[in-house]
Chain A
Amino acid sequence: MFDIVSFLPRAVVQSIPLLCGSTGETITEKSGNLNLGIPGIMYVGAISGVIGSFFYEQSLKASGKDINTFLGIMIPLLCSMVGSLLMGLIYSFLTVSLRANQNVTGLALTTFGVGFGNFFGGSLIKLTGSDVPSIALSKTHGCFVHKLPLAAKTGWFGEIFLNYGFLVYLSIIIALVAAYILKRTRLGLNLRAVGEDPATADAAGINVNKYKYLATCIGSMIAGLGGLFYIMDYASGVWSNDGFGDRGWLAIALVIFTIWRPNVGVLASILFGALYILYLFIPTGSNPAIKEFYKMIPYVITIIVLVAVSMRKKRENQPPASLGNPYFREER
């Protein structure tokens, strides 16, 4: 029989980078910015955290002290946030202030970010002249996966719901809060107005550029968190080049799949996570290559959703109307 108790937690763990990426991208897209730099930003979020905790662990080694859980979490977290914030600022500066094309800027950001991650991941040891064979931040990993105390005592319930590191719960909370803000607050209403019709928003006294900057930068930081989770929790603090794979693009697919709703994203990302690892649980028979076809499913489903949404033309399911378009007040 299909082992749901071991399958579900793995799907959840798999889903968190996607959830962070798609929550961040949804917030960004609601302001009318289509940020295709998300994959790069997630790499930078991951590697910045790695660099921070690498130095911290090296300094611990030198002084012979044991890791401080608080610092062990805060140092990589802050580094990761700063790294992805800088990426968000580059994107906003180029597209909002310098009015560059969003798609081109996003792709350049992804090239840069993925290169940045792989370069420092591959060269950090060489550059710092350390004598470790590979980047394995096991102590930091230990800090990130502190489980809830009840997890071990509550059987299958604990295994499915309580057995995760804190970033899992944090990501879900962020997604729910983002959904609430977008739908129920004035801030969210203003943001959506900027994404739908910036000229009208501007006339209503909303500072369009400020909203675009803020949404993009906050979105980047949330996405960067996904990269950090991947490396510190899922990958046990071991960096491997291109290990993060194409999860960043999958996160962008998820935005469409959830029709721009972060709260739907919580469940949808678990579904995508499940699809991502489904091949491990389905017998492949005599043809081991078939698992590569299973990995195609999320993308194919996304295409179907995209087409279906455009065919039905339901107003509330459409992408933000000015998505991808720059806004210049003088050129209305």
Chain B
Amino acid sequence: MNQQRLQERVRQLREQQSTNPCRVLVCCSSPCLSAGAGAVKSALEAVAAEHSGRVSVEVTATGCLGPCSRGPLVTVRRPGHADAVYERMTPELAGKILAGHLTETPPADNLLPADLPFLARQTRIVLENCGRIDPENLDHYLAADGYAALARALHDFSPEGVCAAVEQSGLRGRGGGGYPTGLKWQLLRKAAGQRKFVVANGDEGDPGAFMDRALMESDPHRIIEGMAIAGYATGAAQGYVYVRGEYPMAARRMHKAIRDAERAGLLGMRILDSPFSFRIDVRLGAGAFVCGEETALMASIMGRRGQPVPRPPYPAEHGLWGEPTVINNVETFGNIPPIIRNGPEQLAAIGTGRSRGTKIFALCGEVIENGLIEVPMGTTLREIVFAIGGGIPGGAAFKAAQTGGPSGGCIAAQHLDASMDYENLQALGSIMGSGGLIIMSEKTCMVDVARFFMDFCMDESCGKCSPCRAGTVQMYRFLDRVSNGSATERGLVHLEELCRLMKETSLCGLGASAPNPVLSTLRYFRDEYLAHIREHRCPAGVCRMTEVPVTLLADELMQRIAAGRLDGEAF
């Protein structure tokens, strides 16, 4: 395929789609499938078959539309009508609704209002195709302007020009680090090496985060296109998509998309009849959170034990098999096609300060609307929680939002109007992170939150460096003690000291950022820690508080023995 044939194919596909009298899009990403989207789709297909003599209905399995807590979601798309999105579909209801549409009496049951803030208040650029196309169908992606950016890059841009455009857009790494993507690409472009590599990091491991999964499941070609553009821009001929082992569907869809793109001449040898060749392979993780760290990720791709090595040297000089390598998050690659297709100005026009473009967040926790959202950088937390998210269930008060998972921190209620951008979140003691956004109400105990994340880090520490391996355990034990009632204030001093030790001496980002949830909860909710320790009570009523500090243990043991609850402590 060359550029002309690609354009011709797109024209045909669009014409075909616009004459289609009725298209039904069934969200078939992991959340909707687990809510029963498979059966809904079968029911819709049955209804479509019933009416097939009279009208042609195309039932399409799409990727994630966003409002996951309302799934399964079904969109009915008819020429001349606005899209009708239905929530919480059952097979019966979905059949009834489709039949209604086909007889011009569309029912209003479970119909989402057209101006639902959750959808209307978003700025969907990276997610533009999510929930709109069949991720397993290359034609759908092509009809949505897919691979136009790659064609344009190969045709109209020099590799340097692509890097410059990406730089100009102000795009920064969406995995959380926020390193300017254009600059990273320039480094790789200029690096001397026999071979160069492009790696997409899809090893999303933060608890409560599912942006990368949704993107890989919903729009895999977009990532492939972004990677191919990166390959062209940097002089790499080989790419790897590193997909978390727990995401089998994302891996399967990435696989299929790569194969389909190769067959269509959009990937592989001489892409679009240009001299540029680029291959992509999928690599599956084996369940280690630390493999999201780039040096550990590379070790894992090379088949070694997934453990970080110190940087420098950075991957741009010494990456996969010692060759220059660029590693970007899958969301970063998802940002690339529109930059080339629409020009870097579009992305640069959105956002605030040095944070340009949009950010995808996985909104979850104690908020009415759970799901995937894409908003301009600099949107306030209040807008996200109360306008888009619909507020806290049951009218409870907002307490804090956790961003950046176990590497991030929490943002307290007094900062609800804070702008969500790289610099500001850091100033508030958290990080942008990859986009996990966990909302917590007054019913949440912040000590318990810190304990949860420390438990996670302890479990995921690779064990290579001693401060992280042994430090996370000591911190977890103390936090556990605070929440069971046996902590003392002396331990609190040790905890804060351990936080500093780990930040300064850990080998990789996992250990260095593991104290963040502790530090930020201590910063905003120290009184909660003290209530546990001094007053032996959990203000949120979450912690069990069944133990006592060791100095009170003698009486406690005697009482337990007297009550016959002795666990062998006594003769």
Do chains A and B interact in one complex?
no
